[in-house]
Amino acid sequence: MTASIEDSAPLRRADDGTESDERVPLTAFRPDSNPRGGIVVLHESREFSPALVEFMKALATDGWLVAAPHLFHRAASDDEVFGDALFEDFDATVAWLTGQGVYADAIGVIGFDDAGTAAALVATDRPVGAAVSVAAPGIVEPLSADARALVEAAPSLQAPWLGLYGQGDERIPADHVDRLRDAVAAAPVATLVVSYDGLDHRPDEVSPESGTTAGEDAVVDAQRRIFDWFDSHLR
């Protein structure tokens, strides 16, 4: 049985590294045995969906100590969390993981939707062990003033990065994904962009209304690739 943990971690200001009185709340899941590494899960809403909770539990069952910072802890608004705020929350979560005995080079990051974009940007600015982005938009145009377009940021990736997309996603045109695939090829680390035919959006989920097995097959393949990516690069 994986253990659920509610905790918080002190923030350090991105500009000078000084510790503040503010803390970022964390939801974490611990494996049964000593963790073989840590995974930071970034998410784009105030609530943890049942699917996301089950996914985090599955990562913990696979041996990872999983920690998800509550990115919207600063204000009542649901503004996107990028720039210094994102890096402060991420750094605090990494410090919490290392405080639990996880080695810094065995920590990965994953994000979904807009938080998938955040995960990719973290991997361009922090020495994480591996990164995964699922249905990450903002490929050609940045999502906010504090974010970079992924085609611009991709050559700066510092960690092996996996990007998963659905070919039918109206928010993310297929030609944008093709441009991202070309851009990440210039990165000095291992990269892979996978597009799934028959999916309208996130390849880690399938809509019950789709009426096809293409989405179900993609879900199985996407989840396998996520777990394999962390297995291969967090050693």
Pairing status of strand 107-112 against strand 130-134: parallel
Model confidence at 148: pLDDT above 50 = yes
Backbone angles phi, psi at 4, to 5 degrees: -90, 140
Cβ atoms of 92 and 13 closer than 8 Å: no
pTM: 0.90
* pLDDT over 70 percentage in the chain: 86
**pLDDT band at residue 31, thresholds of 50, 70 and 90?**
very high
Token pair listed for 219 = 């879900």
Q: What is the chain's percent helix, strand, coil content, to nearest 5?
A: 35, 25, 40
Q: Would you say residue 206 has pLDDT above 50?
A: no
Average pLDDT of span 49-71: 92
pLDDT at position 64 over 80? yes
With a cut of 90, say whether residue 61 has pLDDT above it: yes
Indicate the pLDDT class of residue 202, thresholds 50, 70 and 90.
low
pLDDT digit string (tens) for 162-171? Answer: 999 988 888 8
Q: What is the pLDDT of residue 125?
A: 92
Res. 60 pLDDT band, cuts 50 70 90: very high
- Is the pLDDT reported for residue 78 higher than 80? no
What is residue 208's predicted lDDT score, i.e. its pLDDT? 40
Hey, which residues does 27 pair with through a beta bridge?
Answer: 6, 68
The pLDDT of residue 6 is: 94
Q: Longest Cα pair distance anywhere in the chain, in angstroms?
A: 53
Task: Tell me the three state secondary structure of residue 35.
Answer: coil
Confidence band (pLDDT; 50, 70, 90) for 44? confident
42, 28, 226, 206: which is closest to 132 by C-alpha? 226
pLDDT at position 43: 86
- Give, as one character, the DSSP assignment of residue 109: E
More confident residue, 210 or 42: 42
Report d(CA 153, CA 180) in Å as an integer: 10
- Of 210 and 143, the one with more pLDDT: 143
